[in-house]
Amino acid sequence: MGQTDDSAAVTPTNHPRVFYRSPAFDRGELEVAQTIADALGDEWEVYITIGPYRGYNIQFKTDFESRIVHLDFYSVRPCGEYNIDVVIRDIKLGIRHAS
């Protein structure tokens, strides 16, 4: 089996640095991702995945080499029970420590 091109699995949004890597649920996850992308600056992209059966409402993973923040949302509550400012702070703190 050959390798796949990950860029083919990425769907653009109306924000130049935010992309879906899963179907869009349109439950507010895009707006959260846009807020995070804007807070991080032009050199970072944000990829969204969203789906059922998560033990969290939002989780992130930072790919420092590619300068991508992967946001994974629980599809039932993608915008609830967390503070977006704390998420942004934690992402920025991780970026600072990796530099």
Residue 4, in any domain of the structure:
no
Q: Model confidence over 41-71: pLDDT tens digits?
A: 999 999 999 999 999 999 999 999 999 999 9
Q: Which domain holds residue 26?
A: 11-98
Residue 70, in any domain of the structure:
yes
Residue 6, in any domain of the structure:
no
The residue with greater pLDDT, 6 or 63, is: 63
Q: Is 22 helix (H, G, I), strand (E, B) or coil?
A: coil
Report how many domains make up the chain: 1
The residue with greater pLDDT, 25 or 4, is: 25
User: What was the pLDDT predicted at 77?
Assistant: 87
Band of the pLDDT at 3, cuts 50, 70, 90?
very low
Residue 27, in any domain of the structure:
yes
String of DSSP letters for 51-77: ESS-SSSEEEEEETTTTEEEEEEESS-
User: What was the pLDDT predicted at 99?
Assistant: 78
CA distance 54 to 61: 15
